[in-house]
Amino acid sequence: MATFQYIAKDSAGNETRGQIEAGDRSSAIAAVRAQGLFPTALGEVKSAPAAAAVAPAKAKKAKAPAKKSGGLNKDIKINIKMPSWMRGKVNTKVLTQFTRQLATLVNAGLPLMRGIEVLKRQMKDPQMVEALGGIADNIASGGTFSEALTQYPKIFDKLYVNMVKAGEAGGVLEVVLGRLAEFAEKSEKIKNKVKGAMIYPIVVLFAAIGITGFLLVAVIPKFKQVFNDMLGGAALPPITEAVMQASEFVQHNGLVIVAIVAAIVVIKKIVGHTEAGAYFFDVCSLKAPVTGTLVQRTAVSRVTRTLGTLLSSGVPILQSLVIVRDTTGNRVVSKALQEVHDAVKEGEGMTQPLSQCPVFPPMVVSMVEVGEETGALADMLTRIANTYDDEVDNAVAGMTAAIEPALIIVLAVVVGTIVIAMFLPMIKIISSVSGGAA
């Protein structure tokens, strides 16, 4: 029989520690669970005789004379850690996969500590490996899982940490981890759909810019020389003159154009980091002619799913509203959620402040009101999120259907204008040559 030391939580979420004797680790876990406890960490305690036997050996080794060596000590290990500010964020797919696997292991009865160690061994991302090592050490020293997560804010955000904390308090950590994985998977799915829908229009736009630039810089100057030689300085059609002037401007002011574009990007970045500028750009994104509807529906889906997931996991509503406010990514929505937070704090409902924000449609406000009245707000918010996930799919399909032909038409008009502008003088040249031959 071996002695195991454990850390566990009861049904009320209170932490308890103790020791138990069992034949192996699995039997120890079963014995702890038989007491109505949920084990979060478990480790074997070495027996005193074994420790005493090791002590004399260490003493003898210490008394032994040190061997001289002309080389470097090979036992010296150099461990240089990269500063936290130099590390990038862990890929969402890696974090989602870790969360899903950890939920499966914990749900299967494996202690949290053991599950983290198993996932650490198979993890390939170096940042996650380092983070899991630190989390395991923190838990082994008596800390909780949520406290360990706060040491790595670039990997585990406030939403993740607070949901884990709620799961620990309620003794349903495996359920919360499953919800976190599901939330991350659905959020990533929506994000990938939006990105995928924008790939084709961006490719067409860059192709149009590249083709137009090539024609203006490389092709038009050659036609200009031909026209001067063949027409002897005669007046060209207005459309041809306009294209020639555009070509000369691009040739002689290429660096100026690049500098202007770079300046616009830099100014946008600088202004976007100010509170007023960021709010202005968020308002513009919501009111944009083609993409505004998509941005709005994505924001509603994200807010309702995040809030519903937090509430269903046991996080208090005021704390949930603060977390959603800080993670929404849109200043207009954040402002509305702050007003909702203030109203709830004063004992009022969420309906009135939500109805004053144009981002949330009347249907969403009505469903939230019904959820508050029936006491099923978390379930109602999840239903709203599922509905708006479908709306996002429809918006992506509609936007793609509208943008693709529009860009093709723009490309055809630009290239067609240049071709016509070059073709009109050619007709005049052919007519003069035919008349001279006659």
User: What pLDDT digit, counting tens, does each position of 266-284 carry?
Assistant: 998 888 888 888 888 888 8
The pLDDT of residue 355 is above 80: yes
Does any domain span residue 179?
yes
Instruction: For residues 18 and 1, give the distance between their C-alpha atoms in angstroms, rounded to a whole number.
Output: 16
Residues 174 and 92 in one domain: yes
End-to-end CA distance of the chain: 116
Does any domain span residue 140?
yes
DSSP one-letter string for 73-100: -TT----PPPPGGG--PPPHHHHHHHHH
Instruction: For residues 24 and 46, give the distance between their C-alpha atoms in angstroms, rounded to a whole number.
Output: 13
Q: How many domains does the chain have?
A: 2
Does any domain span residue 198?
no
| Candidate from 2-11, 15-24, 81-90, 217-226 with smallest mean pLDDT | 81-90
Residues 109 and 173 in one domain: yes
Does any domain span residue 244?
no
Residues 103 and 171 in one domain: yes
Does any domain span residue 362?
no
pLDDT in tens, 48-102: 444 344 444 444 444 444 444 443 333 333 333 444 444 456 788 888 888 888 8
Q: Identify the CATH number of the domain in which residue 155 sits.
A: 1.20.81.30
* Domain enclosing residue 120, as ranges: 88-184
Residues 29 and 105 in one domain: no
Does any domain span residue 122?
yes
pLDDT in tens, 96-110: 888 888 888 888 888
Instruction: For residues 34 and 6, give the distance between their C-alpha atoms in angstroms, rounded to a whole number.
Output: 14
| Boundary residue ending a domain (184, 209, 228) | 184
| Boundary residue ending a domain (124, 150, 184) | 184
The pLDDT of residue 313 is above 50: yes
Show the 3-state SS of 227-287. Answer: HHHHHCCCCCCHHHHHHHHHHHHHHHCHHHHHHHHHHHHHHHHHHHCCHHHHHHHHHHHHH
The answer, as to whether pTM is greater than 0.75, is no
- DSSP state letter for 13: -
Residues 114 and 176 in one domain: yes
Instruction: For residues 186 and 389, give the distance between their C-alpha atoms in angstroms, rounded to a whole number.
Output: 9
Instruction: For residues 352 and 355, give the distance between their C-alpha atoms in angstroms, rounded to a whole number.
Output: 5
Does any domain span residue 433?
no
Q: Which of 302, 300, 284 is nearest to 292 (CA)?
A: 284
Q: Which of 355, 51, 286, 310 is nearest to 170 (CA)?
A: 310
| Boundary residue ending a domain (135, 168, 184) | 184
Does any domain span residue 215?
no
Residue 290 corresponds to which tokens in the numbers above?
A: 């083609």
